[in-house]
Chain A
Amino acid sequence: MRTNRIAAATALVAALTLTATACGGGSSSSGSGDNSSPRTLTYWASNQGTSLDNDKQVLEPELRKFEQQTGIKVRLEVVPWSDLLNRILAATASGQGPDVLNIGNTWSASLQATGALLPFDEATFAKIGGKDRFLPSTIASAGAAGKDPAAVPLYSLAYGLYYNKKLFQQPGIATPPATWDELVADGKKLTKDGKYGLAVEGGNVSENVHHAFVLGKQHGADFFDAAGKPRFDSPEAVAAVKQYVDLIAKDRIAAPGNAEYSANQSVTDFAGGKAAMLMWQAAGTSLKAHGMNPEDYGVAPVPLPAGATGGKAVTSMVAGINLSVFRNTKNLDGSLQFVKFMTSTEEQKILNGTYGSLPPVKDAQSDAAFSTPELKVLSNVLGSSAAALPQVANESQFETLVGTAVKSLLAAAAAGKAVTDDTVKAELTKAQQQMPAS
Chain B
Amino acid sequence: MGKRLARIGLPYLLLLPALALELLIHLVPMVVGIVMSFKQLTQFFIRDWSAAPWTGLGNYRMSVDINAPVGRSLLNSFWVTCAFTLLAVGLSCLLGTTAAILMQDTFRGRGLLRAAFLLPYALPVYAAVITWSFMFQRDTGLVNHVLHDQLHLTSDRPFWLLGDNSFTALVTVSVWRSWPFAFLTLTAGLQNIPRELYEAAAMDGAGIWQQIRRITLPALRPVNQVLVLVLFLWTFNDFNTPYVLFGKSAPEAADLISIHIYQSSFVTWNFGAGSAMSVLLLLFLLLVTAVYLFLTSRRRDADA
Chain A interface residues (CB < 8 Å from chain B): 2, 5-6, 9, 12-13, 16-17, 19-20, 27, 29, 82, 86, 89, 92-93, 95, 110-111, 113-116, 203, 205, 255-257, 259-260, 262, 393, 396-397, 400-401, 404, 407-408, 411-412, 414-415, 429-430, 433-438
Contact = CB atoms under 8 A, between A and B. Distances in A.
Given A9-B16, A429-B69, 18 more contacts: A6-B13, A9-B13, A16-B24, A20-B28, A29-B48, A86-B266, A92-B46, A95-B47, A110-B269, A113-B44, A114-B47, A257-B157, A259-B162, A262-B247, A401-B267, A404-B248, A408-B249, A411-B162
B172 interface: no
Given A12-B17, A114-B43, A404-B249, A27 B163 contact: no
B46 A397 contact: no
16 contacts: A9-B16, A13-B16, A20-B24, A20-B28, A82-B247, A82-B248, A89-B266, A114-B47, A115-B44, A115-B47, A203-B247, A257-B139, A259-B159, A260-B137, A397-B268, A436-B42
B235 interface: no
Interface string B121-163: 0000000000000000111000000000000000001010111
Interface residues of B, number: 42
Contact of B249 (A29, A259, A407): A407
B137 A433 contact: no
B78 interface: no
B248 A400 contact: yes
B8 interface: no
Q: What are the 6 tightest A-B residue pairs by CB atom distance, in nearest-first order?
A: A29-B48, A411-B162, A436-B270, A257-B139, A433-B69, A404-B249
Given A93-B49, A114-B43, A436 B269 contact: yes
A16 B48 CA distance: 24
Contact of A433 (B14, B42, B68, B252): B68
A434 B16 CA distance: 45
B51 interface: yes
A95 B46 CA distance: 10
A398 to B, nearest CB: 10
Contacts of A13: 16-17, 20
Contacts of A407: 249
A86 B24 CA distance: 24
Nearest to B72: A430
Nearest to B138: A257
B21 interface: yes
Contact of B268 (A12, A393, A400): A400
A434 B139 contact: no
Contacts of A404: 248-249, 267
A29 B51 contact: yes
Nearest to A5: B14
Contacts of A9: 13-14, 16-17
B50 interface: yes
Interface string B271-304: 0010000000000000000000000000000000
B268 A16 contact: no
Contact of A414 (B24, B137, B162, B267): B162
B266 A113 contact: no
A435 to B, nearest CB: 7
B251 to A, nearest CB: 7
A116 B47 CA distance: 7
B241 to A, nearest CB: 17
B162 to A, nearest CB: 4
**Overall SS of chain A's interface:** helix
B237 to A, nearest CB: 19
Contacts of B268: 397, 400-401, 434-436
B251 A113 contact: no
Interface in B1-35: 10, 13-14, 16-17, 20-21, 24, 28
Contacts of A411: 159, 162-163, 251
Given A9-B17, A16-B17, A411-B163, A434 B48 contact: no
Nearest to A426: B69
B70 interface: yes
Contacts of A93: 46-47, 49
Contact of A16 (B20, B43, B47, B252): B20
Most chain B C-beta atoms within 10 Å of own C-beta, residue among A89, A430, A436: A436
A358 to B, nearest CB: 29
A402 to B, nearest CB: 12
Nearest to B51: A29
Nearest to A29: B48
A408 B251 contact: yes
A332 B222 CA distance: 61
B8 to A, nearest CB: 14
B244 to A, nearest CB: 11
Nearest to A30: B48
Contacts of A259: 159, 162
Contacts of B28: 20
Contacts of B21: 16
A262 B269 CA distance: 22
